[in-house]
Amino acid sequence: MAFAYLAPTLLVLAGLLGYPIYQLVLISLYDYNQEQVSGNAPLNFLGLGNYQKLLSDKQFWTVLAQTVGFAAVCVAGTLLVGTALAVLATRVRAVPRTLLFLAALGAWATPAVAGSTIWLFLFDANFGLVNEVLSGIGLHGMAGFSWTYGQWTAFGLVAAQVIWCSFPFVMVTLYAGIRAIPGEVVEAAALDGASTTRIARSVILPLLRPLLLVVTIQSIIWDFKIFTQIYVMTNGGGIAGRNLVLNVYAYQQAFAASEYGLGASIGVVTTVLLLAITVVYLRVLKRSGEVL
């Protein structure tokens, strides 16, 4: 009986999720290039050949490590900024709070390509506002400094942009969470003599845990799959590809070069990694007693 109720959902999921994943796995097992797509060359079954090629490529591991590190920094930054501003928003009056929210929503609403381009303008080596201001306040070494040339400055710049456009989600969610905590609970703790830090650590934080988990996992998935910001701001992966992340690498190595088989195998690897993260997330949720 339960299955009958679930059937419509399962059908939609099978069509929209199952079939594409099936095709992705299927294509990843073949030597599938443009020649094969347009029927001008025979199909060649490779088995796990594409995976072997991918996993034995040193650059893939470098890019994977960079992706993990970059995502970690972005997630930590996003959570830190988002939480701090959410707390700030609960402490200020209505007018500054409205301004804060307007600014955050503006950043949130800016399309990724436009946001990246504007940041590039701001950080342009010769005409950028940032270098102008920095050299104006006495840091003359910053005139003509190229932010996108060095591997770490480029990653830092992109990470800052990613944090800028994704902290509003964290901020809005946590603000709602903090507001939903009943005033009596905090008041009772205060009457019992708990300090502000103690209240934050032992009362507010545990109550916010489920929300924090959700925004963390969401951020991990988003930042792991980052494409636009890296592609636009580092001009397709930086000098000699040293700013590549997994998605840009997949696009450059596989899809732009029409190696759909190899591209599909990268897709499968990414999917498995993200599935693993999600499974861990579900486990943690279950253990913390949340009803799914």
Partner 1 sequence: MRVVRVLLAAAVGALALAGCAPVQSGSTSSAKDEKSGQLKVWLFDEVNRGPKEEVVKQAVSEFQAAHAGVTVDVQYIQVSTRAERFKAAFSDAKSAPDVAEFGNTDLAGYVAAGGFADLGQDVAAWSDGKDLSPRVTDTAKVDGKTYGVPWYVGIRALFYRTDVFAELGIAPPATLDDIAATARRIRAAKPDLLGISVGGKYTYGMLPFLWAQGGDLAAQQGGKFKSTVDSAEARAGIAKYTELLRDDSCPPAQCAGNGGDASVEAFRAGKAAMTIGGNFNRTAVDSSAAAGKYAIVPLPGKTAGSIAPAFAGGNLLGVTRSTDRRTLAVQFVELLGGKQYQQKMYQAMGNLPTFTDLQNTVAAEKPVEKPFIDTLNAGTRFVPVTPGWAKVDAQGVLPTMLQQVASGAQDVNTATAAAAQQMNSAFGS
Q: Summarize as ranges the residues that interact with partner 1 (CB under 8 A).
A: 21-23, 25-27, 29-41, 43, 45, 125, 144-146, 148-150, 235-237, 239-242, 252-253, 256-259, 272, 275-276, 279
Q: How far is the CB of 109 from partner 1 (least distance, A)?
A: 26
Which residue lies nearer to partner 1 by CB, 100 or 154? 154
Whichever of 181 and 239 has its CB closer to partner 1, that residue is: 239
Query: Closer to partner 1 at the Cβ: 209 or 225?
Result: 225
Which residue's CB is nearer to partner 1, number 47 or number 138? 47
Among 178, 184, 205, residue whose Cα is nearest residue 87: 178
Minimum Å gap between C-beta 7 and partner 1 is: 18
Residue 18 one-letter amino acid: G
Query: Which is nearer to partner 1, 12 or 257 (by Cβ)?
Result: 257
Q: Report, in Å, the least distance between residue 83 CB and partner 1.
A: 31
> Rounded to the nearest whole angstrom, what is the least distance from the CB of residue 245 to partner 1 in the complex?
15
CB of 116 to partner 1, least distance (A): 15
